[in-house]
Chain A
Amino acid sequence: QQPVQSPQAVILREGEDAVINCSSSKALYSVHWYRQKHGEAPVFLMILLKGGEQKGHDKISASFNEKKQQSSLYLTASQLSYSGTYFCGTEQNTGNQFYFGTGTSLTVIP
C-alpha cells in the first residue's frame, strides 16, 4: 500500500519552516525519508522505526506516530539547498515490500 504524502508541493522563502506528512493505512515497521534533487539519485535523510528508534542527519528532524501510522518531516530555517522532491518510504510490519510515497516538491526561494 503506497503511503500518501502531503502537501504535494510547497514553496518557501529562505528561513521559513515546512512540515511534510506521510500516512499509511497499514501498520508500519519503519518510515524512511529521502530527498531527490532534479537529475540526481535520492539521498537518505532519516529512518524512524517502530518502537521509537531513529537515525539520520543531525539537521533533519522527524516524528512517527505509531497509533496513526503517520510520519512528519520537519524542515526548519530552510536553505536554498533544501529544494528538491521529498519521498517517504515505508515497510509494513509484515516485512513486505518497500513502498514510496508520491513525493512532495519543495522549492526554497531567496
Chain B
Amino acid sequence: KAGVTQTPRYLIKTRGQQVTLSCSPISGHRSVSWYQQTPGQGLQFLFEYFSETQRNKGNFPGRFSGRQFSNSRSEMNVSTLELGDSALYLCASSLGAGGRYEQYFGPGTRLTVT
C-alpha cells in the first residue's frame, strides 16, 4: 500500500498570507490527524478528522482550520500567517479514530513564513 502523502513538501509564504496543505491517507484509513512540529514545542496536536467530522481540536487559534473529504483526504488551512507559524506540519492517518489505532505519518510540509 502507498503511504501517507502530503503536498506540497516545502512552502515559503509571507506574513499575512494564507496557506492550504493537503494530506492523502493510506487507502482504507478513515482518520486523519494534523500536527505542528517545531524545535521548541515538539509535536503539537492540531486536529483529528474521522468520516469528514472534526473529532478533536488542539489548542491553536481559529486561524488554523481543516476539513476532510468523503475520500478521507484532508486539508488544513492557515490564514493570516505569522512568523511563529513556521514549522513542519505532519499529518497522520489511522484505520479508526482515537488512541486505539496506530498512526502512520506522512513526510510533512515544511512551511517557512517570512
- Summarize A's interface: helix, strand, loop or mixed: strand
Closest residue on chain A to residue B43 by CB atoms: A100
Interface size class of A (residues with CB under 8 A): 20 to 34
A58 to chain B, nearest CB (A): 15
- Taking a contact as CB atoms under 8 Å apart, the answer to whether B42 and A98 are in contact is no
- Taking a contact as CB atoms under 8 Å apart, the answer to whether A91 and B98 are in contact is yes
Measured between alpha carbons, how far is A61 from B68 in the docked complex, in Å?
35
Is A69 on the interface with B (CB-CB < 8 A)?
no
| Residue in B99, B107, B108 whose CB lies within 8 Å of A32 | B99
Is A43 on the interface with B (CB-CB < 8 A)?
yes
Q: Per-residue 0/1 for B47-77: is the Cβ within 8 Å of any A Cβ (1 yes, 0 no)?
A: 0100000001110000000000000000000
Measured between alpha carbons, how far is A90 from B108 in the docked complex, in Å?
21
Given A41-B107, A87-B43: A98 touches B100 (CB 8 Å cut-off): no
**Total cross-chain contacts (CB, 8 A):** 66
| Residue in A49, A98, A102 whose CB lies within 8 Å of B45 | A98
Measured between alpha carbons, how far is A41 from B35 in the docked complex, in Å?
11
- Taking a contact as CB atoms under 8 Å apart, the answer to whether B58 and A97 are in contact is yes
Measured between alpha carbons, how far is A31 from B48 in the docked complex, in Å?
17
Is A55 on the interface with B (CB-CB < 8 A)?
yes
Measured between alpha carbons, how far is A49 from B39 in the docked complex, in Å?
29
Interface size class of B (residues with CB under 8 A): 20 to 34
Is A95 on the interface with B (CB-CB < 8 A)?
yes
- Taking a contact as CB atoms under 8 Å apart, the answer to whether B56 and A97 are in contact is yes
On chain B, the residues within 8 Å of A101 by CB distance are 42
Measured between alpha carbons, how far is A101 from B57 in the docked complex, in Å?
18
- Taking a contact as CB atoms under 8 Å apart, the answer to whether B102 and A103 are in contact is no
Chain B interface (Cβ < 8 Å from any Cβ of A): 4, 33, 35, 42-45, 48, 56-58, 90, 92, 98-108
Enumerate 8 A-B pairs (CB-CB under 8 Å) in ascending A order: A2-B42, A30-B100, A32-B102, A34-B105, A40-B107, A41-B106, A101-B42, A103-B43
- 12 extra interface residue pairs, beta carbon distance < 8 Å, beyond A32-B102, A32-B103: A30-B99, A41-B90, A42-B105, A44-B103, A47-B100, A89-B99, A96-B56, A97-B56, A98-B45, A100-B45, A101-B42, A103-B42
